[in-house]
Amino acid sequence: MNWRGKALKFCDVAGLPALEPFVRLLAGEDVKEQLKGIAKFVVLPVAAVAVFLMLWSAAARTVVTDSMRLPSPTDTWTAGKELFAMHSAQRAEDLKVKQEKTLQAVQLLAQANAVGKQAESATGERKETLLANALVLKKKAVQAANYRPSSAPTFVDQIVTSLKTVFVGFAIATLIAVPIGVLCGMSPWCNAALTPFIQVFKPVSPLAWLPLAFLIIVWAYSGTKPGDNFFDKAFLISAITVSLCSLWPTLVNTTLGVASVDKDYMNVARVLKLSWSQQLFKIILPASLPLMFAGLRISLGVGWMVLIAADMLAQNPGLGKFVWDEFQNGSSQTYARIAFSVIIIGVIGLVLDRIMIFMRNLVSFGDPQAA
Amino acid sequence: MQVLRHLPTSALAPLTLLLVGALQIGCSDSNISLEDLEAAAAKLETTAGEDADAGAAVMEILDVEKPNLKFGFIKLTDCAPLVIAKEKGYFEEEGLNVEIEAQSNWKVLLDRVIDGQLDGAHMLAGQPIGATIGFGTQAHVITAYSLDYNGNGITVSNEIWEQMQENDPALKSDTPPHPIPATSLKPIVDSYKQEGKDFNMGMVFPVSTHNYEIRYWLAAAGIHPGMYTEENIQGTVDADVLLSVTPPPQMPATLEAGTILGYCVGEPWNQQAVVKGIGVPVTTNYDIWKNNPEKVFGVTKEWDEKHPNTHLAVIKALIRAGKWLDATDENGVLVNRQEAAKILSGKDYVGADEDVIDNSMTGTFVFQETDVRPMPDFNVFFKYYASYPHYSDCIWFLTQMRRWGQITEGKPASWYAETAQEIYKPEIYRKAAAMLVAEGKASAEDFPAEDYDGYRDVTTEFIDGTPYDAKDPVGYVNGFEIGNKDPESLAKQ
């Protein structure tokens, strides 16, 4: 395949049809046709965004109440830049403090040794106090050396936390949903047994799960001290809520995918006398992968949506908490920061979706259709 | 730090810097152990100071059990001591690495303290009390530090304010006479009642000072704010005014939306209403009860038992923060408040604009644009022994809980005193104070005299003039026209 073919294939698999006309143009194909493509996939969306920004600006001038006002696109952009500037400032500050702390650790240790020496020559109660002090100073030195910044998480920290949470929740959901889905797809009996659960729980609003997830996590962690555990309670609550909601699309699609594997394939498998596991791994799974990925894609989208809401409700760290805290702040910057967060949440959602499309297209046979 | 002075710091600096680099590259993620440190320090020529003060007594250094702490707060200016103790490095000087995290509402905050996700928190004074006696969530929460006095206001919507002015022409002036009682509100409430409409007002939590204050203010003018009973825990039995829980930062928006017609809340949410022109603060809690207790620093009893030294260290830092907040120059002007307002306006703390926060923080309160009054005692953090956990302050909350039926049965006077001792822990405060005095960071005059029994003087400085004697809680409860009445016999038990 020449570079043109490879590039076109990439556009296809990555789900980036907007790039296709450019590739074709570079390859010297019909210019008029390609310009039409560019107009459709690039110029038109850009124009639409421009119109949206104009409408938004107009709305920002109109929607003003006594205590609130809709931020304009410029306000939002400025607020966003400020958030990132605050993040870098915080990082620089943290690093500085950390260095100071290390220095302090050494000084504390020197001090501890000095106190220890003093103790050698002292007697009685004085000696005991000095020895105790030396021990405490040593402990403090170790603490200072292992200092962790205690500043509030920045916007970027919150993005990272949210991403981690959604991936953990999504991973848990996938690990549960795919095997059950395969089982249900292969065995109508199993499917019949699980159908009531799927039908009842699938439409439940994700946030209704939150108090139950909370209860279960708090129960599971009862008797343990915070900080001793690998995962934070709050983190797990959010993650479990995400998995409880992103379970169903994967489960249903996997079931469907497995159940609708082409009869011809199965007949071939029978002719070849493939064992059960061979059938599963050589035929059923590969054949149902496209539908499975379609399910995973919906799951991840639902999960991301739910996560933000769960953060807001439960005050778990993440973008949702950031938005909620800002709403509670009521400063003149509040709504601009919220608007910026909304856009960032949307963009991240989009990127997550693209990643899933990319993965689905990678495993699809035939003609992948970007959506 | 005495020994540190003996070290040749100038010679030390370049070496230590090298070491800092080495430690950071080598052990950026893994834990640095004592051995690592000793190996590093061994390279340093340390001349241990000669034992110059061999005769002097050696002070014990506090062995902090838990250096990494997380405290919760609600976005209100009276969380200031916590924020200042962190930002001014007082926590750090005590060897504490403290994270301060905003919570979405008082219930979440309390639950997280109880289940250990937070080590302690900025709490409504009523929260440790309510939790310990089992109203709402049951858990033994204690306090050894009172964060502040005063700091709340009652705001009504513009429309209600106009109607109040019509009922009482004296209010029509640009600077109406204060304090403004709820008498001019009564006809409005009555007319709502006649039309069968609910008169809704907001407060922040069932056991909040705000709930008791707005009830006190309404009841003083003969408006019934509703009772709590065993069956009705909304507190709306026989209510003329329906009080509902609204989180502090949402008060102005809820008022603007018309869901409530007025509210009682801490700062900056009254000044916010003035600045935004959506409501008029009619009174502050300074006028309802001069120097009333407001917020406390609460931890669970269990936490205190496990971390006694840490608790002491925290209280030491908080006392210093309180002192810093209330520092004045020779003319009595609060010198640090502007800086405090700036720190608090940070988005991770209160987050409102600095010019909204600094109104009340620097000692003025804006009732209306035309009515700006100096209120130097609007926020008291340390003056008048405000940070000391007075038993009488705890008992006042208990009397109000009984008055409004949150405590469902009458209790003998001795129960009030015993309960106060279970929740308020002046002994911890005393210990921390003594350490600060010994370290030269505070003076003995900053704290109540040694023989002080924890009961503030009997006072009549209430909006209705009812005298409050914490040693006669039953008599106090019975002294109100509206509210529960207990048999006199309980007063002597």
DSSP secondary structure letters along A335-353: HHHHHHHHHHHHHHHHHHH
pLDDT of A242-296, one tens digit each? Answer: 898 889 999 999 999 998 888 888 888 888 888 888 888 888 888 888 889 889 9
Using CA coordinates, name the residue in chain B closest to A219. Answer: B115
End-to-end CA, chain B: 53
- Helix, strand or coil for residue B251? helix
Per-residue confidence (pLDDT) for residue B288, from 0 to 100: 93
* Cβ contacts from A onto B, under 8 A: 165
Min Cα distance A150 → chain B (Å) is: 5
**Quick one: which of B166, B134, B123 has its CA closest to B419?**
B134
- Helix, strand or coil for residue B432? helix
Per-residue confidence (pLDDT) for residue B51, from 0 to 100: 47
pLDDT > 70 fraction of chain B, expressed in percent and rounded: 90
Q: Torsion-angle region of residue B246: left (phi > 0), alpha (psi -120 to 50) or beta?
A: beta
pLDDT, average across residues B412-424 = 95
Per-residue confidence (pLDDT) for residue A1, from 0 to 100: 59
A251-277 b/e with 16+ CB inside 10 Å = b? Answer: bbbbbbbbbebeeeeeeebeeeebeee
Whether residue B127 is predicted with pLDDT greater than 80 in this model: the reply is yes
Do B218 and B226 contact (CB within 8 A), yes or no?
A: no
> Is the omega angle on the peptide bond into residue B179 within 30 degrees of 0, that is, cis?
yes
**Quick one: which of B98, B120, B95 has its CA closest to B110?**
B120
How are beta strands B152-157 and B279-284 bridged, if at all?
A: antiparallel
- Helix, strand or coil for residue B138? coil
Per-residue confidence (pLDDT) for residue B11, from 0 to 100: 44
**Closest CB to A132 among B60, B95, B104:** B60
pLDDT, average across residues B10-24 = 49
pLDDT > 90 fraction of chain A, expressed in percent and rounded: 27
Do B467 and B458 contact (CB within 8 A), yes or no?
A: yes
Please judge whether B63 and A139 are an interchain contact, meaning their C-beta atoms are less than 8 angstroms apart.
Answer: yes
User: Packing angle between helix B337-344 and helix B80-87, nearest 10 degrees?
Assistant: 90
Using CA coordinates, name the residue in chain A closest to B51. Answer: A118
Per-residue confidence (pLDDT) for residue A228, from 0 to 100: 59
Please judge whether B58 and A152 are an interchain contact, meaning their C-beta atoms are less than 8 angstroms apart.
Answer: no
**Closest CB to B41 among A86, A106, A326:** A106
Per-residue confidence (pLDDT) for residue A283, from 0 to 100: 85
Q: For the whole prediction, is pTM greater than 0.90? A: no
Q: Which of B23, B37, B77, B79 to mutate to test the interface with A (most CBs of A within 10 A)?
A: B37
Average pLDDT, chain A: 85
CA B356, CA B313: separation in Å to the nearest integer? Answer: 33
**Closest CB to A126 among B38, B48, B58:** B58
**Quick one: which of A25, A44, A43, A23 has its CA closest to A34?**
A25
Residue reference for tokens 């797809």: A185
Show the tokens assigned to B402.
């009984």
**pLDDT band per the 50, 70, 90 thresholds, residue B27:** very low
**pLDDT band per the 50, 70, 90 thresholds, residue B320:** very high
Cβ atoms within 10 Å of A150's Cβ, excluding its own:
19
Per-residue confidence (pLDDT) for residue A229, from 0 to 100: 61
Does the beta carbon of A305 lie under 8 angstroms from any beta carbon of chain B?
no
Residue reference for tokens 């006002």: A69
Average pLDDT, chain B: 87
pLDDT, average across residues B303-320 = 95
Burial-class residue A47 by CB neighbours within 10 Å (0-12, 13-18, 19+). exposed
CA distances A117 to A109, A124, B69, B309, B484, Å, are: 12, 15, 32, 26, 67
pLDDT, average across residues B351-358 = 86
**pLDDT band per the 50, 70, 90 thresholds, residue B44:** low
Do A365 and A261 contact (CB within 8 A), yes or no?
A: no
Please judge whether A143 and B97 are an interchain contact, meaning their C-beta atoms are less than 8 angstroms apart.
Answer: yes
Do B379 and B267 contact (CB within 8 A), yes or no?
A: yes
Which of residues A328 and B447 earns the better pLDDT score?
A: B447
Residues ≥6 apart with Cβ < 8 Å to B4: A107, A110, A111
Sheet holding B279-284, edge to edge: B242-245, B200-203, B262-266, B152-157, B279-284
Low-confidence ranges of chain A (pLDDT < 70): 1, 66-67, 223-230, 365-371
| Chain A residues touching B353 at Cβ < 8 A | 331-332
Per-residue confidence (pLDDT) for residue B313, from 0 to 100: 95
Show the tokens assigned to A267.
């007949």
Per-residue confidence (pLDDT) for residue A235, from 0 to 100: 83
**Closest CB to A67 among B86, B276, B348:** B276
Does the beta carbon of B51 lie under 8 angstroms from any beta carbon of chain A?
yes
Please judge whether A150 and B68 are an interchain contact, meaning their C-beta atoms are less than 8 angstroms apart.
Answer: yes
Does the beta carbon of B345 lie under 8 angstroms from any beta carbon of chain A?
yes
What dihedral angle (degrees, nearest 10) is formed by the CA atoms of B150, B156, B157, B161? -130
Show which of residues 200-259 on chain B sit within 8 Å of chain A, judged by CB atoms. 247, 249-250, 252-253, 256
Residue reference for tokens 């809690």: B285
Q: On the CB side of B296, how many CA atoms lie within 13 Å of its CA?
A: 32
CA B306, CA B196: separation in Å to the nearest integer? Answer: 55
Whether residue B279 is predicted with pLDDT greater than 90 in this model: the reply is yes
**pLDDT band per the 50, 70, 90 thresholds, residue B6:** very low
Highest mean pLDDT among A198-207, B59-68, B275-284: B275-284
Whether residue B322 is predicted with pLDDT greater than 60 in this model: the reply is yes
**Quick one: which of A185, A177, A172, A183 has its CA closest to A307?**
A172
Cβ atoms within 10 Å of A225's Cβ, excluding its own:
10
φ, ψ at A69 (rounded to 5°): -150, 145
| Rg of the Cα atoms in chain B | 25
Please judge whether A334 and B351 are an interchain contact, meaning their C-beta atoms are less than 8 angstroms apart.
Answer: yes
Show which of residues 206-225 on chain A sit within 8 Å of chain B, judged by CB atoms. 218, 225
pLDDT of B182-229, one tens digit each? Answer: 999 999 999 999 998 999 999 999 999 999 999 999 999 999 999 999
List the domains of chain A with CATH numbers: 3-62 (no CATH), 73-146 (no CATH), 155-219+230-362 (1.10.3720.10)
**Closest CB to A143 among B40, B95, B117:** B95
Do B298 and B318 contact (CB within 8 A), yes or no?
A: no
Does the beta carbon of A148 lie under 8 angstroms from any beta carbon of chain B?
yes
Residue reference for tokens 């923080």: B361
Does the beta carbon of A145 lie under 8 angstroms from any beta carbon of chain B?
yes
Per-residue confidence (pLDDT) for residue B9, from 0 to 100: 46
Residue reference for tokens 């407001």: B294
> Is the omega angle on the peptide bond into residue B169 within 30 degrees of 0, that is, cis?
no
ipTM: 0.72
Whether residue B52 is predicted with pLDDT greater than 50 in this model: the reply is no
